């Protein structure tokens, strides 16, 4: 294994998929497979034991599903980046995975070159989304219903932001992932019709959603 190779854990309930991915990475100089798992429970156990750099996570698996596994990995504070690799790009699959803390979301029809590029991007701290997934997320943010009331969690995030917390600090205080904080902030911006944190806090005070100190 090259000393700088990105260490990958493959999680999929289909052996043929795992074998195919392993075979593809066997020909790669900068990605190496350190383990496999057939469901979310095994994925968490293997991730704890192996500490991979990137986890390729399927979503719909028997037993513990991918989203549940992503949430548990985030709760345990593992440094591994989770890159979803699945067949599905519907609201019910994409949004929970992103909110749980996935660093990226690709479909299984991605080319080998795109997949290896996505692994490198995730490993370096970036985010990568399949075009259809990016379009779905944009459509969610732009929904007319976004003008509805803020949820309790969105208010909690906004309150912490108003006290000067950054995303990482807010995530730590609320025991959620940093990616989830970012998702809540996107919803807040859409509902308050603003484009940044300062404007969101100002609008929240103006509408009485937040109370100045001392009240």
Assigned token pair, 61: 């698996």
Q: Which fold has domain 6-138?
A: Rossmann fold (3.40.50)
- What would the mean pLDDT of 201-210 be, rounded to a whole number? 88
DSSP reduced 3-state for 166: coil
Question: Residue 67: which of 79, 82, 53 has the closest Cα?
Answer: 82
Q: What is the pLDDT of residues 142-172, one digit of tens each?
A: 655 445 688 899 999 999 999 999 999 999 9
User: Left if phi > 0, otherwise alpha if psi is -120 to 50, otherwise beta: which for 207?
Assistant: alpha
**The CATH number, out of the four listed (1.10.10.10, 2.40.50.100, 3.40.50.300, 1.10.3720.10), of the domain defined by the range 144-206:** 1.10.10.10
* Interatomic CA distance for residues 141 and 29, integer angstroms: 39
Assigned token pair, 108: 């299984």
Per-domain residue ranges for the chain?
Answer: 6-138, 144-206
User: Left if phi > 0, otherwise alpha if psi is -120 to 50, otherwise beta: which for 78?
Assistant: beta
Instruction: Please list, in sequence order, all residues whose beta carbon lies within 8 angstroms of the beta carbon of residue 80, skipping any fewer than 6 positions away.
Output: 9, 47, 51, 52, 53, 54, 55, 73
Backbone angles phi, psi at 167, to 5 degrees: -60, -40
Q: What is the pLDDT of residues 52-66, one digit of tens each?
A: 999 999 999 999 999
Look up the pTM and report it: 0.66
Q: What is the pLDDT of residues 62-99, one digit of tens each?
A: 999 999 999 999 989 899 999 999 998 886 788 888 88
CA dihedral 15→24→61→114, nearest 10 degrees, is: -160
The yes-or-no verdict on residue 17 having pLDDT over 90 is yes
């Amino acid at each position: 294994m090259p000393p700088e190779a990105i260490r990958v854990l493959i999680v999929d309930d289909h052996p043929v998929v795992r074998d195919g991915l392993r075979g593809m990475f066997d020909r790669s100089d900068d990605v190496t497979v350190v383990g496999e798992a057939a469901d979310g429970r095994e994925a968490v156990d293997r991730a704890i034991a192996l500490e991979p750099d990137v986890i390729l996570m399927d979503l719909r698996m028997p037993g513990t599903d991918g989203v549940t596994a992503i949430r548990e990995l985030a709760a345990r504070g593992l440094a591994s980046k989770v890159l979803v690799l699945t067949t599905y790009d519907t609201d019910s699959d994409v949004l929970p995975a992103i909110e749980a803390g996935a660093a990226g979301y690709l479909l299984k029809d991605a080319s080998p070159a795109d997949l290896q590029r996505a692994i490198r991007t995730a490993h370096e701290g970036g985010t990568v989304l399949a075009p259809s997934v990016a379009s779905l997320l944009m459509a969610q943010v732009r929904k007319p219903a976004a003008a509805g009331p803020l949820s309790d969690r969105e208010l909690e995030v906004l309150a912490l932001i108003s006290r000067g917390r950054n995303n990482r600090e807010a995530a730590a205080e609320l025991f959620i992932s940093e990616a989830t904080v970012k998702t809540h902030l996107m919803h807040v911006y859409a509902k308050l019709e603003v484009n940044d944190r300062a404007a969101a806090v100002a609008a929240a005070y103006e509408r009485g959603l937040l109370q100045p100190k001392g009240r």
